[in-house]
């Protein structure tokens, strides 16, 4: 079974079990809308891949850990899209939760998903108390303070923020939790897997910043040009597009080299490579470079002719 299929099946069954019966129907529907709307599921796949590399001796616990990561991620997207944050109307090609339902329901759906993530872990971890405690701690670090998603989003409320710290917290931390969770669920040390999550997570946010400029709503299923509109710190703005693409390539190369020696090294390298190509397709970069090369001489000529005019006016 592919990692994606395993992640999807685990999400469906754990969501249904944790939601139970009798909850307010609109809350359930809004939570379903947030989760089952076609996400790439990269975080749970990463968790599953590392677990397989570590022996995956408790597959039900691994599945629950993967599901908890995706539920947290979906909750963060619901809140991120709300008017108080990025005020986005579309996500994954569909209206965002507050648009499809309402702001109160979006707020509650996000809250419900965060609690559900812990509930899923608790339900699956009873037979592995040590691993359960480590998984809860690991997830909390990816989401909470001082360097998880909540902290990352909160940097947007400060008057200044360090770009790398902002990106590592709002996106990178949950990737570190994802690789670490795969090892912890299999009874192994997470330490050898931290760098892979950190490099890939940072690359992911750099890619998101590039796509916010070079992508379109049809490609991404969400509005573009948001970083400029909302005045968010962004790699594209800080490094320029060419600089951001080079930074992305370097982070992906470092992610590939950080994979520890294991039986699944090739599979993991392949996963990183496929993701990098999906995130920032070579064709997108080539199109951008062609356009940049085309506009450069025109700009130079204009500058030269302006300079000549200026010289003439001085003479
Ligand atoms: C989007 O994450 C938000 C970021 C942290 C960049 P994804 O690109 O993984 O979104 P989905 O889950 O596939 O929709
Ligand atoms: C989102 O970052 C990171 C989260 C923690 C939700 P962005 O605001 O850049 O992500 P998109 O572009 O809305 O997916
Ligand atoms: Mg945001
Ligand atoms: Mg956003």
Instruction: For residue 127, give the CATH number of its domain.
Output: 1.10.600.10
What's the rounded Cα separation, in Å, for the pair 197 and 183? Answer: 12
Q: Is the pLDDT of residue 304 over 90?
A: no
Higher pLDDT, 34 or 307: 34
How many C-beta atoms lie closer than 10 Å to residue 230's C-beta?
13
- What count of Cα atoms within 13 Å lies in the side-chain half-sphere of residue 132? 14
209-265 pLDDT, tens digit each: 999 999 999 999 999 999 999 999 999 999 999 999 999 999 999 999 999 999 899
Beta bridge partners of residue 90, listed in sequence order: 95
> Which uninterrupted H or E stretch holds 166?
helix 163-167
- Would you say residue 99 lies in a domain? yes
- Would you say residue 313 lies in a domain? no
pLDDT for the residue numbered 215: 95
What's the rounded Cα separation, in Å, for the pair 173 and 160? Answer: 20
163-172 pLDDT, tens digit each: 999 999 999 9
Q: Average pLDDT of the chain?
A: 93
Among the atoms of ligand 2, which is closest to the Cα of residue 212?
12
108-141 pLDDT, tens digit each: 999 999 999 999 999 999 999 999 999 999 999 9
Give the pTM. Answer: 0.93
* Cis status of the peptide bond prior to 166, with omega within 30 of 0: no
pLDDT over 70 percentage in the chain: 94
Helices then strands, counting H and E runs in the chain, come out as 16, 2
> Which uninterrupted H or E stretch holds 179?
helix 173-185
CA–centroid distance, residue 302 to ligand 1 (Å): 41
Instruction: Find the mean pLDDT for residues 139-144.
Output: 98
Provide the angle, in degrees to the nearest 10, between the axes of the packed helices 3-19 and 103-125: 100
Among the atoms of ligand 1, which is closest to the Cα of residue 204?
6
Decide if 86 contacts 224 (C-beta within 8 A).
Answer: no
Which of 40, 8, 22 shows the shortest CA–CA distance to 221?
A: 40
| 136 to 205, 231, 238, 253, 293: CA distances (angstroms) | 24, 34, 35, 30, 50
How remote is the C-alpha of 103 from its chain's centroid? 23
pLDDT for the residue numbered 175: 98
- Would you say residue 282 lies in a domain? no
pLDDT for the residue numbered 293: 87
- Would you say residue 312 lies in a domain? no
How many C-beta atoms lie closer than 10 Å to residue 219's C-beta?
12
Which of 11, 37, 29 shows the shortest CA–CA distance to 120?
A: 11
Q: CB under 6 Å to ligand 2: residues?
A: 76-77, 80, 86, 149, 153, 170-171, 208, 222
- Would you say residue 248 lies in a domain? yes
Torsions phi, psi for 24 (to 5 deg): -55, 125
pLDDT for the residue numbered 296: 66
Number of structural domains the chain divides into: 1
Ligand nearest to the CA of 77: 2
pLDDT for the residue numbered 153: 97
**Looking at residue 169, what DSSP letter applies?**
I
Phi-psi region for residue 56, left (φ > 0), alpha (ψ -120 to 50) or beta? left
- What count of Cα atoms within 13 Å lies in the side-chain half-sphere of residue 104? 2
> Which uninterrupted H or E stretch holds 246?
helix 235-257
- Would you say residue 190 lies in a domain? yes
Q: CB under 6 Å to ligand 1: residues?
A: 39-40, 42, 92, 171, 204-205, 208
38-96 pLDDT, tens digit each: 999 999 999 999 999 999 999 999 999 999 999 999 999 999 999 999 999 999 999 99
CA–centroid distance, residue 256 to ligand 4 (Å): 27
Among the atoms of ligand 1, which is closest to the Cα of residue 279?
8
306-315 pLDDT, tens digit each: 444 444 443 3
pLDDT for the residue numbered 294: 83
- Would you say residue 305 lies in a domain? no
Q: Is the pLDDT of residue 182 over 70?
A: yes
What's the rounded Cα separation, in Å, for the pair 197 and 199? Answer: 6
Q: Which domain holds residue 210?
A: 3-276
Which positions ≥6 away from 111 have C-beta within 8 Å? 75
- Would you say residue 22 lies in a domain? yes
């Amino acid at each position: 079974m592919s990692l994606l299929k395993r992640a999807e099946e685990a999400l469906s069954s754990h969501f249904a079990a944790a939601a139970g019966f009798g909850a307010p129907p609109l809350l359930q529907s809004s939570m379903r809308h947030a989760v089952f709307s076609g996400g790439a599921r990269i975080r749970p796949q990463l968790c599953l891949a590392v677990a397989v590399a570590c022996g995956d001796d408790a597959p039900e616990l691994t599945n629950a850990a993967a599901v908890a990561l995706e539920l947290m991620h979906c909750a963060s997207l619901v809140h991120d899209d709300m008017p108080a944050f990025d005020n986005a109307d579309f996500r994954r090609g569909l209206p965002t939760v507050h648009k499809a339902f309402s702001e109160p329901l979006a707020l509650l759906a996000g809250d419900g998903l965060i609690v559900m993530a812990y509930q899923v872990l608790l339900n699956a971890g009873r037979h592995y108390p040590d691993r359960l405690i480590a998984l809860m701690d690991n997830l909390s670090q990816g989401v909470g303070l001082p360097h998880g998603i909540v902290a990352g989003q909160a940097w947007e409320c400060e008057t200044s923020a360090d770009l790398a710290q902002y990106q590592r917290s709002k996106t990178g931390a949950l990737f570190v939790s994802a690789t670490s969770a795969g090892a912890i669920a299999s009874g192994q040390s997470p330490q050898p897997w931290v760098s892979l999550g950190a490099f890939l997570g940072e690359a992911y946010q750099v890619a998101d910043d590039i796509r916010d400029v070079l992508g379109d709503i049809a490609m991404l299923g969400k509005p573009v040009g948001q970083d400029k509109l909302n005045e968010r710190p962004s790699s594209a703005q800080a490094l320029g597009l060419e600089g951001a693409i080079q930074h992305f390539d370097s982070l992906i190369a470092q992610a590939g080299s950080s994979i520890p020696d294991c039986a699944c090294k090739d599979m993991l390298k392949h996963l990183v490579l496929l993701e990098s190509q999906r995130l920032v397709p070579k064709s997108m970069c080539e199109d951008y470079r062609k356009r940049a090369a085309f506009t450069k001489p025109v700009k130079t000529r204009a500058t030269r002719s302006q300079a000549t005019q200026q010289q003439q006016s001085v003479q």
